[in-house]
Amino acid sequence: MLKRVRRAQHILVPLAMIAIAVAARWALPQVEELQMRVFDVYQRIAPREYVPVPVKYVDLDDESLEKIGQWPWPRTFVAQLVAQLANAGAAAIAFDIVFAEPDRTSPQFIIDLWPLTREVEALKANMDELPDHDAILAEVISQTPVITGFVLTSDGNLPRTPAHKASIAYGGDNPRDYIFGFPGAVGNLDILTEHASGNGSFNLVAERDGIVRRVPLFLRLNGEDEVYPSLAAEVIRVVQGANTYIIKSAGASGEIGYGGVRLGLTGVKIGHFEVPTGPQGRMWLHFTKRVPERRIPAWKVFSADFDPASVEGQIVFIGTSAAGLFDIRATPLEAATPGVEVHVQAVEQILLNHYLERPDWAEGAEYIYMVLLGLLLVFILPSLGALWSAIIGALGIGIAIAASWYLYRGQLWLLDPIYASTVVVLVYMSSSLLNFLKTEAEKRQVRGAFSQYLSPALVEQLANEPERLVLGGEMRDMTLLFCDIRGFTTISEQFKTDPRGLTRLINRFLTPMTDMILDRRGTIDKYMGDCIMAFWNAPLDDAIHAEHGCESALAMFNALHGLNEKLRLEAESENRTHYPINVGIGLNSGECCVGNMGSDKRFDYSVLGDAVNLAARLEGQSKNYGVGVVIGEETRKAAPQFASLELDLIAVKGKTEPVLIHGLRGDAAERKDAAFLALEKQHAEMIVAYRGQQWDRAEQLIAECRVLAKKTNGESHGLGGLDVLYDLYVDRIAAYRETPPATDWDGVFIATSK
C-alpha cells in the first residue's frame, strides 16, 4: 500500500506542477513579461538591420534648443520649419507634438504685456490687421501634407475631442472592446487640425515593465467610443492618399493578454499595406540600433548649409530627444530612446513590409510542447533515473530554444521557449526531489534495519547503494560464525538473585565480541542469550569473507582475554570468586540463502542453508576437541594463510556425510612460525597413522606433538591447549585396540552430541 502511495506521489505531484504552470500561463500577466524579456534578448542579439527608407525625423534636441531658444517656439518659427522642409521636397511632415493652446507670442496676446501708451492703444484698435501666429502656421500646413499629432490621456476632463481625417471600416467582429481606451484627449487647435492632411495619436502604450515593444495602430476614446488611428498609421495613409482604414478582426484569433486569452484584431489594411497586429491592434516593433542617417537636428534645417536633398521625398517626423521635454522611452535595445524614433521605426517596418509576428498558433504550440515534454519527464524519470531524464529534459529545452531562435531569425516569428523550459525544470526538480526524499527514506529504512547488525561504515555504504540489498532471499557464498559461552550455567548461578547483574555481564561480553565482528565487515544475524550468530558477504559483497571470519574469531579471543582480566580485578575487589568467561567458536563457509526471512508483518534479515547448520555444529564440537575455534574445510581452503590443524573427519550430529574440521591456531604470522610448522608436520603424520590404523606409530607421534604444542602460541592466545585433543585420540586408539574398526574404515568419527 505504501509503495502504491509513493508511486502515485511521483506522478501526481509533477502533474500538479504542470497543471499549476498551465493555469499560471493563462492567468498571470507576469508570465507575459517573462516572454517579453526573452524576445528582448533576441532583439539585442540580432536587431533589425537598418535599411535606408524615406523616413527621417527632425530632432528638437538640446543643441537646437540652445541655439534657437527654449520650447515652445513661436508658431511662426514652427511655420518656417515646416516651410523649409516642404520647400526641400518632403513627402509628408508629421508632428510628434501637440499644439493644444494658442501661441502666446501672437500679437493679440503679447500686446497685453506692453505698457499702455497711445501707440499701444492704436495697435489694439487695429489688432485685426495684425497677423495671428497660429493662422500663419495653419496656412503653411494647408500647403503641404502635414499630419498633426494628439495625445489620449487618463484624465477624462481634458478638452478638445480629436478630429477624424479618414473613415474606418471593419472587416469582421467589432474590435472596439479590444482596442486600448483612454477617457480623455488633448488635441490641437481647431485651426491647425482643419488644415492638416492627417491627424493621429502619438500615444505609445508601454508594457507593464515600462518598455515599449509594440505600438498600437488604433486607440479608443472611451467617452465618445471613437476609434482613432495612430500617428504612424496616419502617416502611411496620407502618403498613399488613402481615405479609409480597414480593421480586420475575428472571434477565433487571440493571444495571451493580461487575464488570459484575448480575442480581437488580426490586422489592419492601410491603402496598399496590410499590417499584421495582435488582438489589441498593436504591431510588434523590430528595432534597429540608433543610426545617424534617420536623424536631422532641428537647427541644421535653418542653417545656411542645409542640404534639401536630405529630406527630398522623405516622410519627416518632427519630435524631440531633449530630456526636459519628457518624450524619452525605454525599448528592448536602449533604456532611453526618443519617442519620435519609435514612430519612425514603426513606419520603416511598414514600408519595408518587415514584421515581427506572434502567430495565432504560437500560444497553443507552447502549451502543447510544455505539457508533452513535462508528461514525458513525469513518466520516464522513475524508470530512467535522474541522469537520463536530465539529458532528455535538457535536449527538449535545447530544441525549444533552438527552434524559437531559428523561427525568429528565419521567419520573424516570436515563440517563447523559456516558460515551457521553466516548467520542464520544475517538473524535473519536483520529481527529483521526490526521488531524493524516497532515497533518503530508503536510506533511513536501511540504516534502521541494519544499524544493529552492521558496522556504521557498512551501514552507510549500504544506504548509499540500496540496490545491492536484494530482499526476499538470494544465494551467496558466505562465511558463518557461531559463538557461545561455555559453562554459562555456572556463571549464571552467581546472579540467581541479581538477574540485572547477569544482563549487564552478558552485555559487557556481547559488546566487544560484536565490535570485533563489525570492524571486519561482518553482519550480526542475531543474539541468542549468550550466543552470537554472524555472517560475512551479505548484504554487501566481501571477496575475502573467510579471512574476515578467521580474523574476527582470533580478535574475539584477544578481546575476551582483556575482558576476563577486568572481571578478575572486579571480583577480587568485591571479595568474590572469579569465573572467567570461556567461549567456543564455529566457523564454516558455503553457499547459503540470505535475505528477509519471516512473515509479512515481522521479518529479519537472516541466512539459511546447510553451511549454517554445520557452523552451529562446529561451535559445539569446539568443547569436545578442547580448542577455541573449529573451522570447516571450506573456510580453511578460502583462508589458507591462517595457522590451523586438522582435527578430525567427522559426521556431526544430524548429518551423515563426513566433513573435515580444523582447529584455528593463529594468524598468518603464526602460520610461518618454526614451532608451528614443526607441530603441523608431526600432527599431519599422526592423523595419517591414525587413519591407517597404525596405533603404535600414532601414539608415538601424539607424544611428540604434545611436546611441540607447548612451544606454539595457540594456548597463550586463549585458543586452548591441545592436550584434550590428543587425549581424545589416545582414548580412541585404546578403544580400537580392543575393538578394531572394519578393514575398510576411512577414519570417520560419528559424533553423538552437538
Q: How many CB atoms lie within 10 A of CB 207?
A: 14
List of residues 6+ apart from 431 with CB closer than 8 A: 10, 13, 14, 377, 378, 381, 382, 389
Q: How far apart are CA 184 and CA 224, in angstroms?
A: 9
> Binning pLDDT at 50, 70 and 90, where does residue 261 land?
very low
pLDDT of amino acid 2: 41
Q: What is the average per-residue pLDDT within 409-429?
A: 84
CA distances (Å), origin 546, targets 296, 633, 634? 95, 11, 9
Q: How far apart are CA 618 and CA 648, in angstroms?
A: 11
pLDDT of amino acid 127: 60
User: Residue 446 pLDDT > 70, yes or no?
Assistant: no
User: Residue 685 pLDDT > 90, yes or no?
Assistant: yes
pLDDT of amino acid 445: 65
> Binning pLDDT at 50, 70 and 90, where does residue 253 land?
very low
Q: Using an 8 Å Cβ cutoff, are 346 and 285 in contact?
A: yes
**Better-scored residue on pLDDT, 219 or 461:** 219
Count of all residues that appear for the chain in the document: 754
pLDDT of amino acid 605: 76
Q: What is the average per-residue pLDDT within 399-421?
A: 90
**Better-scored residue on pLDDT, 223 or 207:** 207
pLDDT of amino acid 254: 40
Q: What is the pLDDT of residues 61-91, one digit of tens each?
A: 999 999 999 999 999 999 999 999 999 999 9
Q: What percent of the chain has pLDDT over 90?
A: 59
Q: Using an 8 Å Cβ cutoff, are 109 and 134 in contact?
A: no
List of residues 6+ apart from 209 with CB closer than 8 A: 33, 36
Q: What is the average per-residue pLDDT within 368-396?
A: 78
Report helix, strand or coil for 66: helix
List of residues 6+ apart from 670 with CB closer than 8 A: 642, 643, 676, 712, 713, 714
List the grid coordinates of 390: 536530465
> Could you give the angle at the alpha carbon of 47 between the alpha carbons of 41 and 53, nearest 5°?
155
HEC readout, 624-657: HHCCCEEEEHHHHHHCCCCEEEEEEEEECCCCCC
Q: What is the pLDDT of residues 477-507, one digit of tens each?
A: 999 999 999 988 888 888 888 888 888 999 9
Q: How far apart are CA 402 and CA 418, in angstroms?
A: 11
User: Residue 338 pLDDT > 50, yes or no?
Assistant: yes
> Binning pLDDT at 50, 70 and 90, where does residue 562 land?
very high
List the grid coordinates of 317: 517626423
pLDDT of amino acid 223: 65
User: Residue 636 pLDDT > 60, yes or no?
Assistant: yes
> Binning pLDDT at 50, 70 and 90, where does residue 9 land?
low
> Binning pLDDT at 50, 70 and 90, where does residue 754 land?
low
pLDDT of amino acid 599: 64
> Binning pLDDT at 50, 70 and 90, where does residue 252 land?
very low
pLDDT of amino acid 630: 97
Q: How many CB atoms lie within 10 A of CB 413?
A: 17
pLDDT of amino acid 744: 82
User: Residue 239 pLDDT > 90, yes or no?
Assistant: yes
pLDDT of amino acid 256: 38
Q: Using an 8 Å Cβ cutoff, are 481 and 498 in contact?
A: no
Q: How far apart are CA 314 and CA 311, in angstroms?
A: 5
Q: How many CB atoms lie within 10 A of CB 450?
A: 20
pLDDT of amino acid 732: 93
Report helix, strand or coil for 98: coil
Q: How far apart are CA 520 and CA 458, in angstroms?
A: 10
Q: What is the average per-residue pLDDT within 163-178?
A: 86
467 class by beta-carbon count within 10 Å (0-12 exposed, 13-18 middle, 19+ buried): exposed
User: Residue 584 pLDDT > 80, yes or no?
Assistant: yes
The lowest-confidence range among 205-209, 582-586, 647-651, 716-720 is 716-720
Residue 690 has phi, psi (to 5 degrees) of -60, -50
Q: What is the pLDDT of residues 96-147, one digit of tens each?
A: 999 999 998 877 776 665 666 666 565 665 666 678 899 999 999 999 999 9
CA distances (Å), origin 164, targets 167, 190, 270, 606? 7, 12, 15, 94
User: Residue 192 pLDDT > 80, yes or no?
Assistant: yes
Q: For the structural domain made of 451-750, what CATH number should be given? A: 3.30.70.1230
Q: Using an 8 Å Cβ cutoff, are 347 and 334 in contact?
A: no
Query: Smallest Cα–Cα separation from 553: which of 477, 474, 451, 635?
Result: 635
User: Residue 259 pLDDT > 50, yes or no?
Assistant: no
pLDDT of amino acid 601: 56
pLDDT of amino acid 387: 78
- At position 580, the amino acid (one-letter code) is P
User: Residue 600 pLDDT > 90, yes or no?
Assistant: no
User: Residue 475 pLDDT > 80, yes or no?
Assistant: yes
Strands 184-186 vs 198-201: parallel, antiparallel or unpaired: unpaired
pLDDT of amino acid 98: 95
> Binning pLDDT at 50, 70 and 90, where does residue 423 land?
confident
Q: What is the average per-residue pLDDT within 230-250?
A: 94
- At position 517, the amino acid (one-letter code) is I
| pTM, to two decimals | 0.61
Q: What is the average per-residue pLDDT within 633-640?
A: 96
| Residue extents of the structural domains in the chain | 2-28+360-446, 49-352, 451-750
pLDDT of amino acid 606: 85
Q: What is the average per-residue pLDDT within 565-571?
A: 91
Q: What is the average per-residue pLDDT within 605-632?
A: 93
Q: How far apart are CA 149 and CA 141, in angstroms?
A: 13
Q: Using an 8 Å Cβ cutoff, are 72 and 219 in contact?
A: no
